[in-house]
Amino acid sequence: MAWREGYIAVDWGTTNRRAYAVREDGRVLESFRDDLGLLAVPRGGFEAAVAAIRDRLGDRPMLLAGMVGSNLGWREAPYVPCPAGGEELARAILWIEPGRTGIVPGVSQRGEAGAGVMRGEETQILGAVAAGMVPGDGLVCHPGTHSKWILLANGRIQSFRTMMTGELFSLLQKHSILSGQLGGEVEIDGSFRRGLAEGLAGSALLSALFAIRARHLLGEGDGNAAAYTSGLLIGSDVRAGLSLHADGPVALIGRPDLCDFYAAAVVEAGRPATRADGAEAFLAGIGTLTEMLE
């Protein structure tokens, strides 16, 4: 099909999705975001859900990326092993209908660098590189429920590491002995910065977490315990992430609010941080892939 005449790009995650109609010159004609993440799609319901996207955004060829290609999604698009760049991804697109509806694969890592998987971030990262938003060599951080640290070389994903940071915060907030203390809004305040300093210094998480409870019981209020805890976990995350590349800037790609927290941590650790919007990077990534299809 004629990708140059325009297409639809869908970033389809576990709990949300975002779809864009993109015109022949790359401009977004129309887009929407809703909570029809893949867990909300009934079994066998993806064909209908995709038809509904076309009803809304036009009858165009479509590329989908993210968890929609996982074993919990529509169909499993096997991971591309790293090192991986745009060409490897384009070649490995899982075509539901050839040339018309395809799922972008995720990227995997095996061996000495440790096991790793990503789905969705690869499209943003390679898009950000293609669009010149981040350099093709160096360290990238993609914050999220499972934050990623990626080493780029020659514009390709060389290796990466995933941290359970966002999920652990959520577990602590919802189910732990700290639940009652973690209801506050997370902001970059004094509490966040105290937590950040602890995390960046390499404090043992298991001990620093319980101390939050102890201070509370002893009336040694910490200000905003949610912000402190978030700072602690992000500091620990960034300390480990920075160890992947000894110097130079960190290119943050993702949700602007999360990039704020991570940028504060990276700068606190004495490294420069640049930022790229995840949604723009995603569009650039899908655009790059479509160019390889013709």
- Pick between residue 21 and residue 151 the one whose CB is nearest to a copy of itself: 151
- Pick the stretch among 5-13, 86-94, 157-165, 186-194 that binds a copy of itself (CB under 8 A): 157-165
CB of 128 to a copy of itself, least distance (A): 22
In the window 238-277, what residues touch a copy of itself (CB under 8 A)?
Answer: 239-240
Site string for a copy of itself, 49-88 (x = CB under 8 A): ----------------------x-------x---------
- Pick between residue 23 and residue 213 the one whose CB is nearest to a copy of itself: 213
Secondary element (H or E) of residue 28: strand 28-34
- Sequence length of the chain is 294
Does 204 bind a copy of itself (CB under 8 A)? Our answer is yes
- Pick between residue 156 and residue 161 the one whose CB is nearest to a copy of itself: 161
Site string for a copy of itself, 114-153 (x = CB under 8 A): xxxx----------------------------x-------
Say how far apart CA 6 and CA 240 lie, in whole Å. 41
- Pick between residue 1 and residue 117 the one whose CB is nearest to a copy of itself: 117
Q: Do the beta carbons of residue 49 and residue 36 sit within 8 Å? A: yes
- Pick between residue 109 and residue 124 the one whose CB is nearest to a copy of itself: 109
Q: Which residue in 41, 209, 258, 263 binds a copy of itself (CB under 8 A)?
A: 209
Count Cβ atoms below 10 Å from residue 7 Cβ, excluding itself: 25
- Pick between residue 130 and residue 233 the one whose CB is nearest to a copy of itself: 233
Q: Do the beta carbons of residue 82 and residue 56 sit within 8 Å? A: no
- Pick the stretch among 88-96, 131-139, 189-197, 213-221 that binds a copy of itself (CB under 8 A): 213-221
Tokens of 74: 């529509």
Say how far apart CA 107 and CA 78 lie, in whole Å. 9
- Applying CB under 8 A, the residues found at the interface with a copy of itself are 71, 79, 108-110, 114-117, 146, 161-165, 167-168, 171-172, 174-177, 204-207, 209-211, 213-215, 217-218, 220, 233, 236-237, 239-240
